[in-house]
Amino acid sequence: MTAVLQPGVLFGLCGAVLVGIGLFAIATSPVLLRRIVGCNILGVGIFLVFGAVARRGGGAGLEADPVPQALVITGIVVAFSASALAVALLKRLSELSAGDRAGTAAPAEPRSVV
Amino acid sequence: MTLLLDLALVAWLLGLAAYVVAERDERSAIIAFLAFGLLLGLGWVRLAAPDVAMTEIAIGGGATGLLLLRAEAALRGRGKHEEAMTRAGKLAVALGCAAISGGLGYAVLTFASPPPTLGPAALDALDPTGLGNPVTAVLLAYRALDTLLEKVVVLLALIGVWSLAPDQTWGGAPDVKPALVPEPLSWLARVLPPFGVVIGVYMFWVGADAPGGTFQAGTVLAAMWLLVMMAGLYPPPDTARPALRFVLAGGPALFLAIAFLGFVAADGFLAYPDGFAKPLIVAIEAALTLSVAAALAMLVAGPARKAPAP
């Protein structure tokens, strides 16, 4: 039981649960912005599992294996770039669909009155 | 005692993540996500990864939070809403997600023993570079290719964001200033940047030997630049401005040039000549820090909104 309570294992398990929570948000949220947040939670979960691997790989004077750590740093920056691109796409999509609605709303209104 | 801290951290992280997913109000959910990112930084400290902790707090918490909050404000009331799933559908998805979590958790509990590690190999690569921080050495020497490609990915994402500008504003400046600048923001934008710039430069410099480095320093610098732009003290630059593009491309270009130099002066691509490794790495880091700062700030600022200056 004590093995489970090592930080390396505990945060790894936390990461595993976060992956599930993130996936659930991506699959079920009706709001697209929340799905982007879900993607970030999913990413965090995967990074934490990596962190658990790094923590266990310590030794030879190192507290944790630096290679997975470097990969996680790279991953965090890439995840941010992907989020920024997704947010920009979402904003543009909402602008375009707002424009469409404005364009179709004018002729549609008299019809609904009749 | 530390066990108590670990358990509390894990409980908070899971609770906040569940709240982010379940909360109906968008803004509350994003603020909870911000708190989640900051707490996660503490989690990384517990995993003995201070470099990751700094990156997570700066980028995962700060920059992503700012990006999402701005998006929420822009999309409020007109975001696309899809039809909510039925209860049975949600239950099925939840079961699937739980199965994936269970599988991952099982993998975590049954990691190979003794644990495989690249630590000694990374330490062997540390000596010739003259660096003291193994994570920086992995990023810029042992696995420099990953870092180079990552910089290219950041630039590609920025090109993607910029290309979403409407035709008439192409090459113009993004709009980051709110219609009404609150007094505290204006005050902070005058007071914080001198400190922020010093902290950023320190983080870059100390990164060679202690936790810190280009990404963390670049994010702090980007945050300071965003603060100044958001308070309207200095307008965002036109995206077509050559100076901006030079700074953006300069870091990766210098990295690539030094990488090719390795064919002539050392053993091959991305190899540093003996004795020159540390000065070259510091030069690459300096250029990359500026590039990262400019790219992250521009990614948050978004596509061009104003027609370019003639």
Q: Pick the more confident residue, B133 or B43.
A: B43
Q: Are B37 and B56 in contact (CB under 8 A)?
A: yes
Residues A76, B55: C-beta atoms closer than 8 Å: yes
Contact B47 A83 (CB under 8 A): no
Q: Which residue of A has its CA nearest to B6?
A: A7
Give the residue extent of every domain in chain A: 2-104
> Where does residue B232 fall: left (phi above 0), alpha (psi -120 to 50 degrees), or beta otherwise?
left
Q: What is the mean pLDDT of residues B262-284?
A: 82
Distance (Å, rounded) from C-alpha B187 to C-alpha B213?
29
Q: Do B118 and A57 touch (CB under 8 A)?
A: yes
Residue in this structure with the two tokens 């510091």, named with its chain if needed? B282
Residue A27 · residue B10 · CB < 8 Å: no
Residue A28 φ then ψ, to 5° = -115, -15
Residue A105 has pLDDT above 60, yes or no: no
Does the distance separating the beta carbons of A10 and B6 come in below 8 Å?
Answer: yes
* CATH code of domain A2-104: 1.10.287
Mean pLDDT of B250-265: 88
Per-residue pLDDT at B80: 57
Please name every residue paired with A59 in a beta bridge, in sequence order, or none if there are none.
A62
pLDDT tens per residue across span A47-85: 999 998 888 877 667 788 888 888 999 999 999 999 999
pLDDT in tens, B104-113: 999 988 887 7
Average pLDDT over residues B194-198: 94
Return the structure tokens found at A67: 């290679």
- B155 CA to chain A: closest CA distance, Å? 9
Structure tokens given for A72: 């996680």
Q: Give dist(CA A48, CA B302) in Å, integer.
A: 29
Q: Are B251 and B291 in contact (CB under 8 A)?
A: yes
Q: What is the 3-state secondary structure (H, E, C) of B77-136?
A: CCCCECCCCCHHHHHHHHHHHHHHHHHHHHHHHCCCCCCCCCHHHHHHHHHHHCCCCHHH
Confidence of residue A100 (pLDDT cuts 50, 70, 90): low
For the ranges B32-36, B99-103, B281-285, the lowest mean pLDDT is seen at B281-285
The predicted pLDDT at position B11 comes to: 95
Neighbouring CB atoms inside 10 A of B109's CB total 13
Q: Is the pLDDT of residue B135 over 80?
A: yes
Which of A36, A81, A101 has the most B C-beta neighbours within 10 Å, making it the best mutation to test the interface with B? A81
In the predicted model, what is the mean pLDDT of chain B? 88
Residue B33 pLDDT: 94
Please say if the pLDDT value at position A86 is more than 80.
yes
**Average pLDDT, integer, range B287-300:** 93
